[in-house]
A = this chain, B = another copy of it.
Amino acid sequence: MTELAELPATPGTARTQGRPRSSRAHEAILEAVLDLLEEGITVEALSMEAIAARAGVGKATIYRRWAGKDELLLETLIKLKGPPTQPLGDSVRADLIRLISVVGHKDERAVRVMPCLMPEVSRSPEAYRIWQEAITEPRREVMRDVLRRGVASGELRADLDLEVTVSMLISPLLLHRMTRWNPRLDEVDDLPAQIVDVVLRGVAA
């Protein structure tokens, strides 16, 4: 059983001697965390032993890389969410539909993991801050820009409240994907388009 050649898993800390850390083990650990969260395990109930077992890895291999569960989770979340979807610059309507349509579709896994993270975000100010800065705020800003375009073109009301409008656009989709608050929405056709059309008519100039 010869393992493949491994790349240094943590660039920056230049190790010159000894066996390099296995990037395969590194990936397997992060995947295992997402795997378990996806199954509905909360952050609190997520055990290092379960992670190690799922990844097919010794616990020491985890502790060699991260000081504890918090550090491991942070790296996992950064991996989970990439940069926000960008608008294409067509019409305001088309861009808004595009932005809210990707909620829970670009990455099916992210939407299953999020509910398990929410209790942590509710309780810990630090977790809330990271969640805001890394996940929600960048996405809101993209949507604000599209709305500003609409205001500048005279298409939308000049005194429109960007925060309220952004929330009205994204909240129904977000709540539905994360909690399935109303199961009947599953059967609605073109939900993103319907939402955008009602809001745009509501805030039209």
Contact = CB atoms under 8 A, between A and B. Distances in A.
Interface of A: 39-42, 44-45, 112, 115-116, 118-119, 121-124, 128, 132, 136, 140, 161, 163-168, 171-172, 174-176, 178-185, 188, 191, 194-195, 197-203
Contact of A167 (B140, B176, B199): B176
Contacts of A124: 40
A199 B197 CA distance: 10
A118 B41 CA distance: 11
A164 B190 CA distance: 11
B172 A123 contact: no
Interface of A is mostly: helix
Nearest to A135: B181
A168 B198 contact: yes
A49 B112 CA distance: 30
Contact of A115 (B118, B140, B171, B172): B118
A122 B40 CA distance: 7
A116 B119 contact: yes
A45 B116 CA distance: 12
Contact of A202 (B112, B167, B201): B201
A172 B182 contact: no
A167 B39 CA distance: 27
A199 B169 CA distance: 11
Contacts of A119: 40, 42, 115-116, 118-119
A180 B128 contact: yes
Contact of A123 (B39, B181, B183): B39
A103 to B, nearest CB: 12
A179 B121 contact: yes
B202 A185 contact: no
Given A167-B182, A168-B199, A174-B181, 10 more contacts: A40-B122, A41-B44, A42-B44, A42-B45, A44-B44, A132-B183, A163-B184, A167-B176, A168-B172, A199-B202
